[in-house]
Amino acid sequence: MLHLYRFLSKGLAAAFLLLPFFFSNSVQAEGLNLITDEETEVLLEKIIKPLMQKAGQPYYRSHIHIVNDDSLNAFVADGNHLFIHTGTLIQADNVNELAGVIAHEIGHIKGGHILRQKLEIRELNNLSLLSAALAGAAGILSGRADAAFAIMLGGQSSALNKFVHYRANEERAADETAVKLLKATGQSPKGIRNFMKKIAKQNQMSGREETPYFRTHPLTPERIAFFEKASENNKLPTTSKYDGDFKRAQIKLKAYLNDPKAMINELKKCADKTDCQYGLAIAYFRDLQFRHAFALADKLVGQEPNNPYFYEIKGQMEMENGQVKKAKNSYAQAYGLAPQVSDIKFGYAFALLEDNPDTPTAQKAIELLNTITLKEKNNFQAWTMLAKAYGAKGDMARANWAAAESLAIIGNWEAAERKLKEAEKLSPAPQLKIKIDDLKERIKQEKKKAP
């Protein structure tokens, strides 16, 4: 099940292909539109984890994020968080291309570039240059802002030149690391070469002219030449055992994100294939053609009865169409096949709570949601639903505490503290009192950090 949400982070850095560094800071200020979809994330883990291991870096699945943006880009941020644009996922021809992009970003992590960029930025701040650089970033994106930018900076431009030169060297180092990681994991560098050609073509079509002045990446042709050389006499495969799963994930993303009527027309051309039927079911449902959507959902679970994601999508459709009892059954089957998948557990709990649950049913939902919040401590939706589940069971002390946790996640400290006071009035059990006190202390610390 695909979800959209907003992400706010400090210190976005090391953009892969299109976005200059300074532009990524403006993205930070506004927040990012992120997507969660467990089926896609499981696939990404299979691609990313071996590269991380060869780079000697710890892998945390919670640090991998999908950005709802159709541009060809990826970047890393503080805490070694990796962000991949949906444009990259959808427009990559195969796993080899995607692995090349990811390997480049891991190169930034392995090289410690984020921390060093912070030090460089601090130097720029000391020279009062960063504000001027941010003001000129949008101009750089539009095409030929070189001269105006240089005039604006005047005699102090040498400091920014130094920074930009440093950034370009980082990108070269990340490219070199990418080639090494691909080789270490038995993959060809041809994929990243081909993806860079996509970038060059996109730049050409957009009318963007790359110039050596004030840019943070080596010129795209220069990078293509580097990967061309790395690909010479390279016999490593460009195919992957995950290519089929990748194509399915691409169709699913497109069906959720693109115009549903356009997707129906596109996917009808391959409607005899299961992957296209998957996308068609989603597109039909988004286009409110419920009869076609449910017919395809039934067909999908018939074709792959052990695929939990087909039951999940069927349950989601039933839930959103008001067929709560059917949704409970579909989610129960999905959960039986994949009890570890958070999206399925959440959907199952949601369906249970929407059907006037008795105490045992509410307790089942609580158990499902507790396993999610234990693993994903900042899952706002899970905490909110957990508060509802405790309320349905009649445990208002825990309902108020769970609500406070959800409010704290979004930074609504005052409302969270009010909920904790309500929980304390209900004479909570000692174990719950410890949790309440812990949250009160966390809120206290967060309020100290606030500007």
* Domain that residue 283 falls in: 258-344
Helices (H), 92-211: 95-110, 113-126, 130-142, 146-153, 157-184, 190-206
For residue 88, being part of any structural domain is answered with yes
Domain co-membership, 386 together with 333: no
Distance of CA 345 to the CA centre of its chain: 20
Sequence letter at residue 393: K
**Edge-first strand listing for the sheet containing 74-77:** 3-7, 32-36, 64-67, 81-85, 74-77, 12-13
Domain co-membership, 336 together with 380: no
For residue 240, being part of any structural domain is answered with no
Domain co-membership, 204 together with 317: no
CATH number at residue 288: 1.25.40.10
Q: Which two tokens stand for residue 213?
A: 């002045």
Task: Decide: 391 and 359 in contact? Cβ < 8 Å.
Answer: no
Residue identified by tokens 């750089």 is 140
Domain co-membership, 340 together with 429: no
What separation in angstroms does the CA of 322 have from each of 17, 328, 433? 44, 11, 38
Q: Which two tokens stand for residue 161?
A: 């030149």
pTM over 0.85: no
* CA count, 13 A, side-chain hemisphere, 14: 35
Domain co-membership, 404 together with 332: no
Q: Report the DSSP beta bridge partners of residue 74.
A: 84
Domain co-membership, 313 together with 381: no
Domain co-membership, 193 together with 101: yes
Domain co-membership, 298 together with 387: no
Domain co-membership, 265 together with 225: no
* Run of H or E residues at 429: none
Q: Rounded to an integer, what distance in angstroms lies between the CA atom of residue 404 and that of residue 72? A: 39
For residue 93, being part of any structural domain is answered with yes
The SS3 assignment for 35 reads strand
Domain co-membership, 338 together with 386: no
Task: Decide: 93 and 185 in contact? Cβ < 8 Å.
Answer: no
Among the candidates 213, 231, 249, a domain finishes at: 231
Residue identified by tokens 């990243």 is 192
State the total domains in the chain.
Answer: 3
Domain co-membership, 335 together with 431: no
- pLDDT value of residue 158: 52
Sequence letter at residue 42: V
Distance of CA 426 to the CA centre of its chain: 39
Sequence letter at residue 359: T
pLDDT (tens, 9 = 90+) of the chain, 451 residues, equals 665 544 444 333 444 443 222 223 333 334 678 888 999 999 999 999 999 999 999 999 889 999 999 988 888 887 788 999 999 999 999 999 999 999 999 998 888 766 555 544 454 455 444 444 444 443 444 344 444 444 444 545 555 455 445 466 778 888 999 999 999 999 999 999 999 888 888 777 665 555 443 344 556 788 889 998 999 988 999 999 999 999 999 999 999 999 999 999 999 999 999 999 999 999 999 999 999 999 999 999 999 999 999 999 999 999 999 999 999 999 999 999 999 999 999 999 999 999 999 999 999 999 999 999 999 998 999 999 999 999 999 999 999 999 999 999 999 999 999 999 999 999 999 999 999 999 999 999 998 887 6
